[in-house]
Chains A and B, each alone.
Chain A
Amino acid sequence: MMMRELKALSAEHKEREATREACINVCGAAGCQSHSDELKAALMRAASAQGYGPDTCAVKKVGCLGLCGAAPLVSVHPAGLLYQKVRAEDASDIVANLDGPGVDRIRLDPHAPFFSRQQRIVLENSGKIDPEALEDYIAADGYLALATALTQMTPSQVISQVTRSGLRGRGGAGYPTGLKWSTVAKSTRTPKVVVCNADEGDPGAFMDRAVLESDPHRVLEGMAIAAYAVGATEGYIYIRSEYPLAESRLKTALRHAERNGLLGNGICGTEFGLRLSLRLGAGAFVCGEETALIASIEGKRGTPRPRPPYPAESGVWGRPTLINNVETFANIPSIIRNGGDWFASIGTQQSKGTKVFALAGAIENAGLIEVPMGIKLRDIVFDIGGGIPGGHKFKAVQTGGPSGGCIPEQFLDTPVEYETLATLGSIMGSGGMVVIDNKTSMVEVARYFMDFCMTESCGKCTPCRAGTVQMYNLLSRFSARKAQAADLALLEELCDMVKHTSLCGLGQSAPNPLLSTLRYFRQEYEAAMLPQGGVK
């Protein structure tokens, strides 16, 4: 498809939408999925019973509407109504109130802080477009950035926009994306490979799942732009097997894009071509580490290897490889469309743009949010998240999954940035935020994550393989209240050893949850110890 065809299709689609009286969007992401088919059918029945046809009132299955804790969700446009916990019985009332004021018993306020405090770039189409319809994405200016990059920009101009934007890797480590791209671009060896890391392994994190289920074309477009910029001709999307819905939507998107000349050979009528294929993970957390992921793409056990050489020099099949996270790629189309300076104007000095977070755990509004960098943790937990349910008290927020840490109440006014979170002993991570209330013991939290790392350790290097087991056993003594002072000292020594001597990120960060709970909740460990000289 050429630029003018894209624009014509977009205009035509917008015109058709404008003639409609209303459009009812049913959330069809995994959190709402078990109800969405039934709901969509009920709404369509109700619409036709009340005299609407597909031209006057459309019922669409869309991506994530955000507030997963109140699933299933339905929204009505253009009236801007939003409904929670919708049942099939509500369908006729919803259709009868298309123009407002809406059905009070299930209505949500779309201007509540949960929605109004967000700033959406990555999620701009999420909950608005049908993720299985290419024309919906094109109508939302989709693939315009790719066409612009291919026809009006040189690869180095693309990279310079990404560098100017200040975008940093959204997988957690925060490496500057522009720098990574230019390293791969500089390599003279061909062919080159782009890889999208969709192995979202952190428990309690579902940002990438939501992006892939809600707006898969955005990720493909970002990958194609990246491939053009670095000179890659083939690419892989490595997705975990726990996300069957995201996988099937990606497959559909790939097929549609290839059929319409937006992927494959001769993209947008130019000479540039990119062959993308999907690779399915098989339940191994360590495959989120880039060298392990490369091994897994090659069909081997997912074990990491020492770096250097970095994937930028020698990645998949020994070729220069660019690996970025789903959310990183999803930012690219907006950056190319609006310019790097626009993106750099959002966020803080060190951390630009927005970040998607998955709010879960002991929180009123569990769900998916996108906020500008630099927002305070307190605003996320209490304003957007609505605080802790059931009259319980806030104890800590866990960020970064098994590689991150717990941040207690006194640091809630910290702005969310890569550096500040690291100073607190946690990490930005991929965006999982699990809120912990005062019912939960922090020793148990540390033990849970250590169990996770112990099971998921690939076993290649000794510090991680043996160290995590020892730390887990020591933590079990604390949780059985049989620990002694020497155990605490040993635990701290082991943390230091595993952190500094492990081969890959999994081992190096495995002690983080333990260290951060020791730092802020040491009294809980001390309370679990036997009195001095006590008998074991």
Chain B
Amino acid sequence: MRKLGNQRSALIEALHTLQEAFGRLDKPGLEFVATSLRLPLSQVYGTATFYQHFTLKPRGKHTCVICNGSACQFKGADRLLEGVRENFGVGDGETTANGELTILTARCFGTCGLAPMAVIDGEMSDPLTPETLNGMLEGVMSKP
């Protein structure tokens, strides 16, 4: 925020920084942003909820974002989601009860040559089947 001179236009940048640091946007964080940028809290909240990238819910230790772009969709992104639901009992936007894994979907990562794919803890996967995805997730979660 300071980099952008505490201008009101820095709202989205500020929210990005906040989410990067804390993993989500919580109420104290939003209030801090509103005060610093001299914006009404309603506008900060409105902007935070408008954009899909921002989340107000806490995320699990690991995040798996399944791509739901058209190429992935026509090549079986739904089956990946079903597989994950069967194995871990969570669907899009949900976190496992033990707080280990959050499943999200994205609009398209633009790596359609790898379809269907997912991004697991920031790493792009190779083309997936429900079995390989579940295997990878179990691998990630078993690491300390």
Q: Is the CB of B109 within 8 A of A242?
A: yes
- 16 residue pairs of the A-B complex, CB under 8 angstroms, read A30-B111, A31-B113, A68-B114, A209-B110, A242-B107, A281-B51, A283-B107, A284-B51, A284-B52, A299-B9, A299-B10, A301-B50, A302-B50, A360-B113, A362-B75, A366-B115
CA of A200 to CA of B68 in the docked complex: distance in angstroms? 15
CB-CB contacts of A494-514 with B at 8 A, as 1s and 0s? Answer: 000000000000000000000
CB-CB contacts of A337-362 with B at 8 A, as 1s and 0s? Answer: 00000000000000000000010111
Q: Is the CB of B52 within 8 A of A358?
A: no
With a cutoff of 8 Å between Cβ atoms, the chain A residues found around residue B41 in the complex are none
Partner of A203, one of B15, B50, B71, B126: B71
User: Does B8 sit within 8 A of A, measured CB to CB?
Assistant: yes
Partner of B112, one of A204, A241, A244, A448: A204
Q: Is the CB of A296 within 8 A of B115?
A: no
CA of A100 to CA of B104 in the docked complex: distance in angstroms? 46
Instruction: Categorize the interface residue count of chain B.
Output: 35 or more
With a cutoff of 8 Å between Cβ atoms, the chain A residues found around residue B110 in the complex are 30, 200, 205-206, 209-210, 242-243, 358
With a cutoff of 8 Å between Cβ atoms, the chain A residues found around residue B2 in the complex are none
Nearest-neighbor residue (CB-CB) of A280 within chain B:
B16
With a cutoff of 8 Å between Cβ atoms, the chain B residues found around residue A205 in the complex are 108, 110
Q: Which 5 A-B pairs have the closest CB atoms?
A: A68-B113, A206-B110, A360-B112, A282-B51, A203-B69
With a cutoff of 8 Å between Cβ atoms, the chain A residues found around residue B123 in the complex are 34
Instruction: Categorize the interface residue count of chain A.
Output: 35 or more
CA of A440 to CA of B74 in the docked complex: distance in angstroms? 7
Nearest-neighbor residue (CB-CB) of B68 within chain A:
A203
With a cutoff of 8 Å between Cβ atoms, the chain A residues found around residue B69 in the complex are 203-204
Knowing A282-B52, A284-B52 are in contact, say whether A360-B71 is a contact too (CB < 8 A). yes
With a cutoff of 8 Å between Cβ atoms, the chain A residues found around residue B16 in the complex are 241, 280, 282
With a cutoff of 8 Å between Cβ atoms, the chain B residues found around residue A434 in the complex are 70-71, 74, 112
Q: Is the CB of B51 within 8 A of A302?
A: yes
Partner of A282, one of B53, B74, B112: B53
Most-contacted residue by chain A among B52, B74, B123 (CB, 10 A) = B74
CA of A200 to CA of B108 in the docked complex: distance in angstroms? 9
With a cutoff of 8 Å between Cβ atoms, the chain A residues found around residue B122 in the complex are 244
User: Does B132 sit within 8 A of A, measured CB to CB?
Assistant: no
User: Does B106 sit within 8 A of A, measured CB to CB?
Assistant: yes
CA of A481 to CA of B11 in the docked complex: distance in angstroms? 46
Using a CB–CB cutoff of 8 Å, the interface residues on chain A facing chain B are 30-31, 33-34, 67-71, 200-206, 209-210, 241-244, 279-285, 296-302, 358, 360-362, 366-367, 398, 401, 432, 434, 436, 440, 445, 448-449, 452, 456, 458
Knowing A298-B9, A301-B47 are in contact, say whether A448-B107 is a contact too (CB < 8 A). no
CA of A398 to CA of B89 in the docked complex: distance in angstroms? 34
Beta-carbon contacts under 8 Å, B29-88 to A: 43, 46-47, 50-54, 68-71, 73-75
Q: Is the CB of A448 within 8 A of B12?
A: no
Partner of B13, one of A201, A280, A366: A280
CA of A31 to CA of B108 in the docked complex: distance in angstroms? 13
User: Does B140 sit within 8 A of A, measured CB to CB?
Assistant: no
User: Does B124 sit within 8 A of A, measured CB to CB?
Assistant: yes
CA of A449 to CA of B107 in the docked complex: distance in angstroms? 11
With a cutoff of 8 Å between Cβ atoms, the chain A residues found around residue B75 in the complex are 361-362
Q: Is the CB of B50 within 8 A of A284?
A: yes
Q: Is the CB of A279 within 8 A of B12?
A: yes
With a cutoff of 8 Å between Cβ atoms, the chain B residues found around residue A202 in the complex are 108
Query: Distance (Å) between the CB of B115 and the closest chain A CB?
Result: 6
Q: Is the CB of B113 within 8 A of A71?
A: yes
Nearest-neighbor residue (CB-CB) of B37 within chain A:
A299
Query: Distance (Å) between the CB of B106 and the closest chain A CB?
Result: 6
